[in-house]
Structure 1
Amino acid sequence: MKTAYLYVRVSTDEQKRKGYSLPEQEDRLLKYCEQNQIVVKGIFREDFLAKDFNRPEWKKIIKKLKSNKKRPAENILFIKWDRFSQNIEYAYQMLGILRGLNTKPLAIDQPIDFDVPESIVMLAVYLSIPEAENNRRGRNASDGIRRSRKMGRWAGRAPMGYINQSTQEGRKIIVPKQPQAGLIKWAFEQFVKGTYSINQVRIMTVQKGLQCSKNNFGKYYAILFIAG
C-alpha cells in the first residue's frame, strides 16, 4: 500500500488574499488519501512565510527522511506546487535533494508524472507561475507606495525631519518638523553641488545642530531627495 507525508502551508497574507487555510488543505489531502488508499505517515502544518525552504516544518520532513538510511520510496503530498515553493530556483534545488532521498513531491491539484520526460515542461510552468505572481505583486505594491508619496500620502513611520499627521479626511501625511527638516534640506543642497562627500555633508550638518549618527545619516540619505 502507498504511503505519504502530508504538507500544508499558508502565510497570513495568503490566507486573507486567496482564502487558503491549513484545515481546508489538510481535509482535502486526507480525502485524497482515503480515495486512493494511501496511508498517511505524518502531517506537517506550516504557518510560515519563506522564499526558500528554511521553514521549521519542512526541515522536520527532511530530517525524518534522512533518518531512514535504507532510503525507501516516499511521497510528500500537498495541494498545489505553490505550497511546495514560490521560487523556481529553490524549487529545483529541493527536487534534487528529494531525488537523492528517494522521495517524490506531488501536488494533487497539479499532478506530474515524473516518469514522463515531457512532464518537466508542465512542472516548469507550475513552479514559475507563483514566482511571477509574487514579482508582479511586489512591483504593484512598490508602484502604489511611490504614487501615494507623490500625492502627499505617507502610511509608514515618518522619516527624520518629519512627523506623521492625518488630514481631516483621514489621509495619512507627513509634515516638516523644525529645525531638523531645515537642516536636512540644507544638507541636500550641499550634497547636490557635488563638492562634498556624504560624510562631509553629515559632519557639517551635525555641526549646525542636527542630532544624527553616521549610520542613521546614511540610512536616511534617500530622504534628502524628498526634502529637496
Structure 2
Amino acid sequence: MKTAYLYVRVSTDEQKRKGYSLPEQEDRLLKYCRQNNIEIKGIYREDFSAKNFNRPEWKKLFSVVKSKPKEEKNILFIKWDRFSRNIEYAYEMIGMLRKYGTTAMAIDQPIDFSVPESTVMLAVYLSVPEAENTRRAMNTANGIRRAKQMGRYPSKAPLGFINLTTVDGKKSLHPSNPRPVL
C-alpha cells in the first residue's frame, strides 16, 4: 500500500471566490486515497498565502518529511496552485523534497516525473498561478491609482483626514477637523 501526507491550503479571498474550502479539498483527497488504496499518514490544513513556503503547516509537514529521510513519501494536494504560486520557490522545494525521498503530486494535475516531457506541463502548472498573482496585483494597483485620480481615496485615510462614503457609494477623503470659515 502507498502512503501519503495530505496538504490542503486556502487564502481567504480565494476560498470565497473559487470555493476551494479546506473541507472540500480534504474530502476530495480522502476519496482519492480510498479509491487508490493510499494510506494517509497525516493531514495538514493551511490558511496562508502560497507566495512562499514560509507557512506554519507547511513547515510542520516539511519537518516530518526531513525526519524520515529513508522512507519513500508522497504529499498530495488538489492542484499545483495549492502547493505554490511562485515558480522559482516551487522548483526549489520540489528539489528539497526529492532529497528526502518525497514526491509532491496534484491529483487534478498529475505529473509523471519518470517521463522527461512531463516537466513541460509542470512548468505550465506552476507558472499560471504566479502569472495570476502578478496580474491581480497589477489590476489592484491600477484600480487604486485610477480611484485616486478621480479624487477618491480607497485606502485608510492618512493622519488628519477621514474616509467618507457618499450616498452613491463613492469614497472620498476629507480633513478630520476642518477649520471654520471666518
* 1:3-56 deviation per Cα after TM superposition (whole angstroms, max 9, x unaligned): 111100001111111111000000000111111111111111111224111111
Map of 2:168 onto structure 1: 169
In 2, the alpha carbon distance for the partners of 1:46 and 1:165 equals 36
The CA distance in 1 between the partners of 2:7 and 2:53, in whole Å, is 13
Aligned to 1:99: 98
2:77 matched residue in structure 1: 78
Tell me which protein shows more helix as a share of its residues.
1
TM-score normalised over the length of structure 2: 0.92
What does the per-residue CA deviation read over 1:177-207, in whole Å, with 9 as the maximum and x for residues that have no partner? Answer: 6799xxxxxxxxxxxxxxxxxxxxxxxxxxx
Alignment of 1:125-164 (within 5 A): 125-160=124-159, 162-164=161-163
Amino acid at match of 1:108: I
Cα RMSD (Å) of the superposition?
1.7
Within the alignment, does 1:120 sit opposite 2:115 as a pair? Answer: no
The TM-score, its normalising length taken from structure 1, stands at: 0.74
Matches of 1:120 and 1:34, distance apart in 2: 28
Q: Distance in 1 between matches of 2:76 and 2:169?
A: 47
SS of 1:89's equivalent in the other structure is: helix
Q: How many residue pairs end up in the alignment?
A: 179
How far off is 1:169 after superposition? Answer: 2.8
> What percent identity do the matched residue pairs reach?
68
Q: Partner of 1:54: helix, strand, or coil? A: coil
Aligned match of 1:205: none
Q: Trace 1:146-225 onto structure 2 (pairs within 5 A).
A: 146-160=145-159, 162-176=161-175
SS of equivalent residue, structure 2 residue 156: coil
